[in-house]
Amino acid sequence: MADRPEELEIVERLVASASFSHMFAFGLHRELVELQGDTDHTRMLLGESADIALAQMPALERDFRALTDQWSEVQLLDPANLDSVSHAIEVRFAEVDPKLQTLIARHDEIIAELVALVRNARRS
């Protein structure tokens, strides 16, 4: 049996990572609330984090679910055509990867800003 294409694994890991990052952002925001440091801006950051983790990343992953199913079926029923499905996965990943990277970078910025705000609130 052939190994699953790496692109499928990458997408799954990135979506899971975004979910964990959002949980961390939620915890940071909750701490800001406790420290009376939450503002409209921090709520906007938390909302944007939720949008990335719970809407945008899963939407991109849905694209790959159909390809994952197709790859599994072809692997079992028609292994001779597995290269064409693998190629379709590679092409789709190349199209989606810039968007994934942009979302991850923005999520990292949100987390960094929330961490800085929590540090400042702790000092106050």
The per-residue pLDDT for range 64-92, each reduced to its tens digit, is 889 999 999 999 999 999 999 999 999 99
Domain spans in the chain, listed from the N-terminal domain onward = 6-123
Residue 100 CA to residue 31 CA, distance in Å, equals 28
pTM score, two decimals?
Answer: 0.90
Helices (H), the chain: 6-34, 40-51, 57-77, 82-123
CB neighbour list of residue 45: distance below 8 Å, 6 or more residues apart:
25, 29, 110, 113, 114
What pLDDT does 1 receive?
A: 65
| Residue with the larger pLDDT of the pair 63 and 92 | 92
CB neighbour list of residue 43: distance below 8 Å, 6 or more residues apart:
29
